[in-house]
């Protein structure tokens, strides 16, 4: 039947050019940048590789936590900041009770989960009231929650919330110290098994942490093939049609945010067990920014993201992070330039992605009108 | 209680804030029957469907009287989900398909075949894995029933419209408990060959024992496909007849009827020169969503009141919007014999046209601005009225604006607390008067008015219509009224043009017979003459 | 009960809550015997120095582009203007006016291109605008580092590269407006020049609303479809609104800096849009509607709250709480505006 041939043509031209371009061009540009930066930084290859692997292990989980809201059509969830806060609350909890080692870390995970579920639920409620403006709303919500978080730990810690362990509170007895030492759980996950290839003495690979990330990727793939995953995809594509088909749109969206928030909480715990100290009032602030930038650099867009893009993006973004100060130093004789440059890259790539997305979706709307 | 009927709509009435839109409607449908439902816009078809589907818009506005009975049981569905479970399905006028999903995924949307896995046993059924193989098989089966050969895994985005329609039907027949299928204007989007094929499939479905409720404006289709026909007019069943006793003429007449026994204003105008056209439309195409105009030709006499009528979605609304340049337009528009630039609202306004839109709240008003500004703004922009110079800067002359607004308020009897009142707070009728006042402030020689009485109460309706007649008589303005209410057009117009499927079906005198109007609106007028 | 509801509807929750909060703080301040004249003087100064940045929101909202989160775009232009006037060692009013003369055309150009961009992404102005603002600030960091300024006032004393993080204005335009015709009454220092300049800007924006182009721009912003049907070039009007907003932001930061006594470069302007956005919302504006009275009321409430809360909280709790309260209030108010039903019309 010849109509089938026509249909095939339709199938082929289905992918819109803009999306395709962003998917490929952005990673290619950043691969190029990384290559140039690496060349000028004059850093040894093994050193860079080692650093990148460490950062890949500790950051990917957070980046991947962004994917599900994208699938559910809610864009980039800057609200993962709240998830990071849940993770930090759990870490402060175990630090207070001096829980250590892998057991302590698991308890932190257990404690963070219900907190993150509550946070995620609240974020979901707010975002359902701001449909179509989820990204800016989740971002402002992150700032707002940050204020509340500071209020709690500056004013209530030591007064309303009792603290057991000495040295956690400020000398006045009110308010948490600026940094919390996480020595007890430091490398609890990373150190289970570290692979050190004989050929490269400088290389250490935190195998278990990477396995956890791999497991998350597998679970995510599995999840998209479940009933709930399918519902999220449907809601993400068209809320109205999903509603008519009997899917509870608001509930599905809340579920997506909850999952994202819980994953972010776990991701922040993994991140901080590697860092080893918790900057009480600062560790979470940039989580949303850096995770979103990483995802986008991997070629994801506001409406489409996969774990492969998350991993590639994390790799490239952190590569840039490692090499840019040295590259700046060597090219411009100023390491600050490199530092400013990578912050600019983070903001710029998000701005660009949002711009392209808004541009495209407007184009789509117009073409619908004229059809 | 047993009954031979599958669906009984029993004496159903509904009112929206005091406005009765359905009055004791009773319809009975047997299994395997194709039942046609016809009526003009606003006859109550969509309200009836909303009741049948338990849409929230019904229950949020106080519910309805009467009963929905299925297989002899009173069911009265309260939510769309309930109706779905009762076996009521619908093929929507606008497609409810998710473009990024494959045909199968759309057919099985929210009814996916799932299987258990480790997680689903712990976390509940939402975590069940989708059984794509089984889903594909079901999808294939449903498509085969319709004689569709397309690949069940093809994405829906980009499929031709006809195919999308079939995918929608496939989704409905895939539901195992499907008893009643509602089609709302199903052939409106189809090409002729697709429509033929579609009608065959409808018949096939009926033969499977499914009852079918078929809503259409195409009367020949209704005659061809249905077993019985119900005609609705003004929320009432005016006739319930077997198709074999009906013909297109009869249905057309029933549909239109004589709603308003209003004496037609006798025209005492002199015979005007036939050839003096103020506006000529040639081969006009307007791409207005839902109201497309396709190759329309129409000439407007100087100083007349021209009515433009037709059923909803046939394009009558698109005509005025196209002339004003609000939607992409091609063709030729001649004003006083001079071509008018297309797609440029400013040029249209400059040339002495003024427009009172059908979308009063969306397009017609600055709802959060005062009456006086609403009246003045167009003339300010187009005619540079109400300005004074202050150090060579164009300032608004508030005093003049106020004065003009007060005059208009008095002249058009706009009921308000004063010229500073926000238009949002006005009633529909008074909002309409503000829109007309703004149009008049432009001193136009043609005023186009779309749906002038939509959503306003009876008293205000008469005032608005009388006003338009007055403008025409006293100021010699040419008035083009577009309206869904035929009775209204017949009461004020000199001539009435009927638009069908984007084309001019014909022009009638206001006192032409109901049958003629009915046939024209159903697009059967031309066909009759040929045969 | 009905009256109460009407009252709340009319005043709006933001004004009511912030007003109530302010009242409590004032009572506390009185109880704690904090000197009132000093506070009043501070409030006046801060209203004057922040007011124009808040005012910058008005044209953007009126033109239908929503809250202008890309305020930093105008701010960096203003900073460049101030830097150039310092580079040429211009002080006093000469310096101030030179800064304005350089900043205004720069910001008008920047606003024009930004407006062009926003016209292609209607409905997403706020999300994109926020990140455009962030990108501009972080991109300008590199510029500050490389900019060819030579004046010792501007560069590091020990000869490092780039501009200082904060540039002192002491020898140039420090407090030119604040001290102009300034006087003290009952212990309250009134920065006459500053307030007069703010009033002048407000009057100019108000007057613009009364011109033909102002009325047309308002109509374009209030209802795009209406505007098209009235033959208005909506895109052009939106650009006009954005340009005005950006220019006001540039003027605003110069006025702010002369009062503050320092130019803050690098990451300082990163979050500068948020307090301005919050203030105009507190004043009763919405994403779709803003007037001069919203600006004045909002700036006053917001700044008064910050001024009064600082000493009160210093006595009652930790000093850094004042900053925390600012974060909670400003973001809470923005959140409220974004989640309101009426706010949805923009998209």
Number of domains forming the structure of chain B: 3
CA dist C12 → C7, C170, C283 (Å): 8, 42, 9
Handedness of CA B391, B392, B393, B398 (dihedral sign): positive
Note whether A227 contacts B128, CB cutoff 8 Å.
Answer: yes
Question: Which helix or strand (DSSP H or E) is residue C332 part of?
Answer: helix C321-339
The 10s digit of each residue's pLDDT in C65-98 is 888 998 999 999 999 999 888 888 887 888 889 9
Domains defined along chain A, listed by start = 18-357 (1.10.3470)
**For strand B387-390 and strand B129-130, is the pairing parallel, antiparallel, or unpaired?**
unpaired
Give the Cα separation of B208 and B204 in Å (integer).
Answer: 7
C159 domain-assigned = yes
A171 touches chain B (CB under 8 A): no
In this complex, the residue of C210, C226, C289 whose CB is nearest that of residue B396 is C210
CA distance A111 to chain B (A): 19
Q: Where do the H-state alpha helices sit in B31-131?
A: 45-52, 56-59, 80-85, 103-107, 118-123
C196 domain-assigned = yes
**Structure tokens given for C230:** 């009235």
**A10 pLDDT more than 70:** no
Contacts of A200 (CB under 8 A, 6+ apart): A46
- CA torsion, points C22, C27, C32, C33, in degrees to nearest 10? 100
Contacts of A217 (CB under 8 A, 6+ apart): A64, A307, A311
Note whether C141 contacts A340, CB cutoff 8 Å.
Answer: yes
CA distance B21 to chain C (A): 29
What's the average model confidence in pLDDT over C12-16? Answer: 78
Where residue C4 falls (left for φ over 0; alpha for ψ -120 to 50; beta otherwise) is: alpha
> Which residues of chain A does B101 touch, with a Cβ-Cβ cutoff of 8 Å?
233-234, 237
Residues B172 and B302 reside in one and the same domain: no
Note whether B326 contacts C229, CB cutoff 8 Å.
Answer: yes
The residue in chain A having the minimum alpha-carbon distance to the alpha carbon of residue C138 is A344
Of B110, B144, B177, the residue at which a domain comes to its end is B177
Domain span including residue B74: 1-86+179-257
Number of domains forming the structure of chain C: 1
Interchain CB contacts (distance < 8 Å): B and C = 73
Q: How many other β-carbons are positioned within 10 Å of the β-carbon of residue B140? A: 18
In this complex, the residue of C121, C139, C318 whose CB is nearest that of residue A362 is C121
B100 within 8 A of A237, measured Cβ to Cβ? yes
Note whether B378 contacts C230, CB cutoff 8 Å.
Answer: yes
The 10s digit of each residue's pLDDT in A254-277 is 999 999 999 999 999 999 988 888
The end-to-end CA distance of chain A, in Å, is 26
C12-42 in b/e form (b: 16+ CB < 10 A) is bebbeebbebbeebbebbeeeebeeeebbbb
Question: Which helix or strand (DSSP H or E) is residue A224 part of?
Answer: helix A207-224
The residue to which tokens 């995620």 are assigned: A120
> Which residues of chain B does A1 touch, with a Cβ-Cβ cutoff of 8 Å?
149
DSSP state of C41: H
Residue B82 bridge partners (DSSP): none
Residues B316 and B170 reside in one and the same domain: no
CA distance B180 to chain A (A): 17
C28 domain-assigned = no
What's this model's pTM, rounded to 2 decimal places?
0.82
CA A206 centroid distance within chain: 20
Helix axes C13-31, C273-282, angle to 10 degrees: 100
Note whether C321 contacts A333, CB cutoff 8 Å.
Answer: no
Residues B288 and B362 reside in one and the same domain: yes
Residues B343 and B449 reside in one and the same domain: yes
In this complex, the residue of B84, B101, B126 whose CB is nearest that of residue A228 is B126
**Report for A323-332, C270-279, C332-341: range of highest mean pLDDT:** C270-279
> Which residues of chain B does A242 touch, with a Cβ-Cβ cutoff of 8 Å?
98, 109-110
Note whether A226 contacts B119, CB cutoff 8 Å.
Answer: yes
Note whether A234 contacts B96, CB cutoff 8 Å.
Answer: no
C345 domain-assigned = no
Give the Cα separation of A275 and A279 in Å (integer).
Answer: 10
∠ CA(B456), CA(B462), CA(B468), 5° rounding?
100
The residue in chain A having the minimum alpha-carbon distance to the alpha carbon of residue C67 is A136
3-state helix, strand, coil in chain A (%, to 5): 75, 5, 25
The residue to which tokens 């040929």 are assigned: B530
C61 domain-assigned = yes
Q: What is the pLDDT of residue B215?
A: 87
- CATH assignment at residue B521: 3.40.50.300
Q: What is the pLDDT of residue B267?
A: 47
Q: What is the pLDDT of residue A253?
A: 94
CA distance C224 to chain B (A): 8
Residues B491 and B506 reside in one and the same domain: yes
Interchain CB contacts (distance < 8 Å): A and B = 81
ipTM: 0.83
**Structure tokens given for B385:** 């009225």
Of B142, B177, B212, the residue at which a domain comes to its end is B177
Residues B346 and B294 reside in one and the same domain: yes
Residues B148 and B281 reside in one and the same domain: no
The 10s digit of each residue's pLDDT in C217-233 is 999 988 888 898 888 88
- CATH assignment at residue C102: 1.10.3470
Give the Cα separation of A92 and A94 in Å (integer).
Answer: 6
C172 domain-assigned = yes
CA dist A362 → A62, A367, C229 (Å): 30, 9, 21
B388 domain-assigned = no
B421 domain-assigned = no
**Structure tokens given for A128:** 């359902």
Of B222, B257, B292, the residue at which a domain comes to its end is B257
Q: What is the pLDDT of residue B39?
A: 82
Residues B216 and B289 reside in one and the same domain: no
B122 domain-assigned = yes
Task: State chain A's mean pLDDT as an integer.
Answer: 83
Note whether A343 contacts C141, CB cutoff 8 Å.
Answer: yes
C13 domain-assigned = no
> Which residues of chain C does B398 touch, with a Cβ-Cβ cutoff of 8 Å?
210
- Which chains would you list as touching C if contact means 3+ CB atom pairs under 8 Å? A, B
Residues B203 and B82 reside in one and the same domain: yes
The residue to which tokens 């490239």 are assigned: A316
Residues B59 and B107 reside in one and the same domain: no
Give the Cα separation of B230 and B26 in Å (integer).
Answer: 9
CA distance B131 to chain A (A): 9
Note whether A10 contacts B126, CB cutoff 8 Å.
Answer: no
B418 domain-assigned = no
Note whether A154 contacts C332, CB cutoff 8 Å.
Answer: no
**Structure tokens given for B500:** 């069908």
C229 touches chain B (CB under 8 A): yes
The 10s digit of each residue's pLDDT in C276-307 is 999 998 888 888 888 999 999 999 988 888 88
Note whether C318 contacts A137, CB cutoff 8 Å.
Answer: no
Residues B171 and B207 reside in one and the same domain: no
What's the average model confidence in pLDDT over A110-125? Answer: 94
Interchain CB contacts (distance < 8 Å): A and C = 128
**Structure tokens given for A105:** 């870390």
Q: Where do the H-state alpha helices sit in A129-206?
A: 134-151
B42 domain-assigned = yes
> 319-348 in A: which are within 8 Å (CB) of C?
332-334, 336-337, 340-341, 343-344, 346-348
Coil vs helix vs strand at B350 = helix
CA distance B302 to chain C (A): 24
B69 within 8 A of B51, measured Cβ to Cβ? no
Where would I find the beta strands (DSSP E) of C141-286?
Answer: 166-168, 183-185, 188-190, 262-264
C346 domain-assigned = no
B63 domain-assigned = yes
Phi, psi of B307 (to 5 degrees): -95, 140
Residues B287 and B229 reside in one and the same domain: no
Note whether C212 contacts B382, CB cutoff 8 Å.
Answer: no
**Structure tokens given for C264:** 């803050």
**Structure tokens given for B162:** 């006809």
Kindly tell me the burial class for residue A313, based on how many C-beta atoms sit within 10 Å of its own C-beta (0-12, 13-18, 19 or more): buried
Note whether C211 contacts B396, CB cutoff 8 Å.
Answer: yes
User: Mutate which of A241, A252, A361, A368 to disrupt the B interface (most B C-beta within 10 Å)?
Assistant: A241
The residue to which tokens 């930093």 are assigned: C72
Give the Cα separation of A47 and A38 in Å (integer).
Answer: 11
Note whether B150 contacts A7, CB cutoff 8 Å.
Answer: yes
Domain span including residue C119: 35-338
Mean pLDDT for each consecutive 10-residue tract of chain B (531 residues)?
78 82 88 88 81 83 86 85 85 78 88 82 82 89 83 82 82 86 80 79 86 85 88 86 84 69 45 72 86 88 89 85 89 88 88 88 86 88 83 84 90 85 84 89 89 77 85 88 85 89 86 82 66 41
DSSP state of B361: I
């Amino acid at each position: 039947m010849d109509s089938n041939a026509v249909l095939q043509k339709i199938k082929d031209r289905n992918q819109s050019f803009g999306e395709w371009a962003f998917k490929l061009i952005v990673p290619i540009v950043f691969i190029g940048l990384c290559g140039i930066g690496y060349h000028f930084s004059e850093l040894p290859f093994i050193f860079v590789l080692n650093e990148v692997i460490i950062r890949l292990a500790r950051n990917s989980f957070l980046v991947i936590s962004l994917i599900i809201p994208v699938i559910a059509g809610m864009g980039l969830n800057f609200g993962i900041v709240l998830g990071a806060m849940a993770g930090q609350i759990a870490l402060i909890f175990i630090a207070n009770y001096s829980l250590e080692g892998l057991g302590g870390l698991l308890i932190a995970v257990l404690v963070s989960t219900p907190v993150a579920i509550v946070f995620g639920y609240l974020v979901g409620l707010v975002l359902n009231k701001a449909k179509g403006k989820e990204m800016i709303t989740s971002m402002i919500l992150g700032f707002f929650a940050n204020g509340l978080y500071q209020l709690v730990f500056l004013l209530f810690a030591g007064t309303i919330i009792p603290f057991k362990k000495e040295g956690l509170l400020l000398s006045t007895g009110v308010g948490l110290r600026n940094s919390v030492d996480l020595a007890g759980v430091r490398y609890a996950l990373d150190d289970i098994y570290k692979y050190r290839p004989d050929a490269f003495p400088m290389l250490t690979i935190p195998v278990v942490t990477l396995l956890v990330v791999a497991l998350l990727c597998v679970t995510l793939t599995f999840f998209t093939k479940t009933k709930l995953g399918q519902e999220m995809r449907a809601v993400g594509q068209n809320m109205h049609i999903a509603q008519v088909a009997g899917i509870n749109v608001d509930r599905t969206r809340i579920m997506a945010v909850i999952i994202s928030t819980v994953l972010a909480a776990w991701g922040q715990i993994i991140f901080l067990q590697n860092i080893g100290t918790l900057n009480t009032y600062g560790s979470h602030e940039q989580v949303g920014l850096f995770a979103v930038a990483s995802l986008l650099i991997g070629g994801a867009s506001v409406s489409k993201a996969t774990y492969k893009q998350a991993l590639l993006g994390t790799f490239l973004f952190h590569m840039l992070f490692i090499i840019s100060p040295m590259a700046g130093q060597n090219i411009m004789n100023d390491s600050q330039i490199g530092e400013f440059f990578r912050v600019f890259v983070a903001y710029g790539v998000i701005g660009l992605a949002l711009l392209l997305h808004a541009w495209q979706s407007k184009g789509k709307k117009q073409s619908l009108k004229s059809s | 209680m047993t009954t031979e009927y599958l669906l009984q709509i029993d004496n159903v009435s509904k009112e929206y804030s005091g406005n009765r839109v359905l009055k004791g409607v009773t319809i009975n449908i047997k299994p395997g029957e194709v039942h046609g439902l016809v009526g003009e816009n606003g006859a109550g078809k969509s309200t009836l469907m909303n009741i049948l589907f338990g849409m929230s818009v019904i229950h949020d506005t106080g519910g309805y009287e009467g009963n929905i009975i299925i297989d002899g049981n009173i069911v009265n569905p309260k939510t769309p989900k309930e109706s779905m479970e009762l076996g009521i399905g619908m093929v929507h006028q606008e497609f409810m398909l998710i473009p990024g999903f494959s045909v199968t995924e759309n057919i099985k949307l929210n009814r996916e075949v799932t299987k258990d896995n480790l997680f689903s046993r712990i976390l509940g059924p939402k975590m069940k894995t989708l059984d794509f193989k089984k889903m594909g098989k079901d999808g294939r089966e449903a498509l085969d029933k319709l004689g569709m050969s397309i690949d069940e895994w093809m994405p829906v985005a980009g499929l031709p419209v006809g195919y999308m329609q079939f995918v929608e039907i496939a989704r409905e027949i895939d539901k195992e408990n499907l008893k009643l299928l509602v089609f709302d204007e199903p052939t409106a989007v189809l090409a002729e060959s697709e429509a033929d094929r579609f009608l065959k499939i409808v018949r096939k479905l009926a033969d499977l024992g499914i009852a079918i409720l078929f809503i259409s404006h195409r009367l020949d289709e209704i005659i061809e496909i249905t077993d019985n026909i119900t005609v609705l007019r003004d929320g009432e069943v005016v006739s319930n007849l077997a198709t074999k006793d009906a013909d297109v003429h009869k249905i057309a007449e029933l549909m239109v009827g004589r709603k308003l026994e209003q004496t037609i204003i006798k025209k005492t105008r002199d015979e005007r020169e036939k050839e003096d056209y103020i506006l000529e439309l040639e081969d006009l195409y307007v791409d207005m969503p839902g109201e497309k105009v396709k190759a329309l030709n129409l000439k407007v006499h100087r100083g007349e009141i021209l009515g433009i009528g037709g059923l909803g979605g046939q394009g009558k609304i698109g005509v005025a919007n196209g002339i004003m340049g609000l939607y992409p337009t091609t063709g030729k528009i001649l004003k006083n014999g001079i071509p008018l630039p297309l797609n440029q609202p400013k040029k249209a306004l400059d040339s002495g046209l003024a427009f009172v839109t059908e979308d009063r709240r969306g397009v017609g008003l600055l709802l959060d601005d005062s009456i006086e500004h609403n009246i003045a703004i167009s003339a300010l922009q187009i005619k540079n009225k109400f300005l004074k110079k202050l150090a060579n800067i164009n300032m608004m002359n508030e005093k003049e604006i106020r004065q003009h607004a007060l005059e208009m308020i008095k002249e058009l009897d706009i009921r308000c607390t004063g010229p500073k009142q926000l238009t949002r707070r006005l009633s529909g009728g008074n909002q309409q008067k503000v829109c007309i006042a703004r149009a008049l402030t432009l001193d136009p020689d043609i005023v186009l008015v779309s749906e002038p009485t939509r959503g306003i109460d009876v008293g205000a309706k008469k005032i608005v219509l009388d006003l338009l007649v007055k403008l025409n008589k006293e100021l010699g303005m040419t008035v083009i009224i577009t309206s869904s209410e035929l009775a209204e057009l017949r009461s004020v117009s000199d001539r009435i043009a009927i638009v069908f499927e984007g084309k001019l079906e014909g022009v009638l005198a206001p006192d032409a017979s109901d049958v003629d109007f009915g046939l024209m609106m159903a697009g059967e007028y031309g066909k009759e003459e040929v045969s | 009960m009905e009256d109460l509801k009407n009252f709340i509807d009319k005043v709006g929750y933001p004004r009511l809550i912030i007003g109530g909060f302010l009242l409590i703080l004032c009572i506390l301040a009185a109880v704690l015997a904090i000197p009132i004249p000093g506070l009043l003087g501070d409030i006046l100064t801060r209203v004057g120095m922040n007011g124009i940045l808040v005012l910058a929101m008005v044209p953007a909202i009126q033109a239908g582009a929503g809250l202008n989160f890309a305020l930093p775009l105008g701010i960096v232009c203003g900073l460049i203007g101030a830097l150039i006037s310092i580079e040429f060692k211009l002080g006093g009013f000469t310096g101030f006016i030179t800064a304005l003369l350089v900043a205004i055309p720069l910001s008008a150009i920047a606003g024009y291109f930004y407006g062009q961009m926003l016209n292609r992404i209607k409905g997403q102005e706020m999300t994109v605008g926020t990140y455009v603002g962030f990108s501009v600030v972080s991109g300008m960091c590199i510029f500050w580092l490389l900019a060819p300024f030579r004046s010792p006032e501007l560069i590091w004393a020990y000869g490092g590269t780039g501009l200082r993080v904060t540039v002192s204005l002491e020898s140039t335009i420090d407090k030119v407006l604040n001290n102009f015709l300034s006087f003290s009454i009952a212990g309250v220092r009134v920065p006459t020049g500053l307030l007069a300049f703010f009033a002048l800007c407000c009057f100019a924006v108000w007057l613009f609303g009364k011109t033909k182009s102002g009325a047309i721009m308002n109509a374009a912003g209030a209802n795009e479809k209406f505007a098209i049907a009235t033959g208005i070039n909506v895109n052009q009007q939106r650009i006009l609104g954005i340009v005005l907003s950006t220019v006001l932001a540039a003027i605003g930061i110069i006025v702010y800096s002369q009062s503050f006594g320092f130019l803050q470069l690098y990451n300082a302007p990163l979050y500068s849009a948020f307090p301005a956005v919050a203030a105009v919302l507190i004043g009763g504006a919405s994403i779709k509607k803003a007037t001069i009275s919203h600006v004045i009321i909002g700036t006053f409430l917001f700044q008064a709250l910050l001024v009064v809360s600082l000493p009160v909280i210093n006595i009652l709790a930790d000093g850094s709480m004042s900053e925390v309260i600012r974060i909670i209030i400003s973001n809470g108010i923005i959140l409220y505006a974004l989640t309101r039903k009426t706010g949805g019309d923009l998209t």
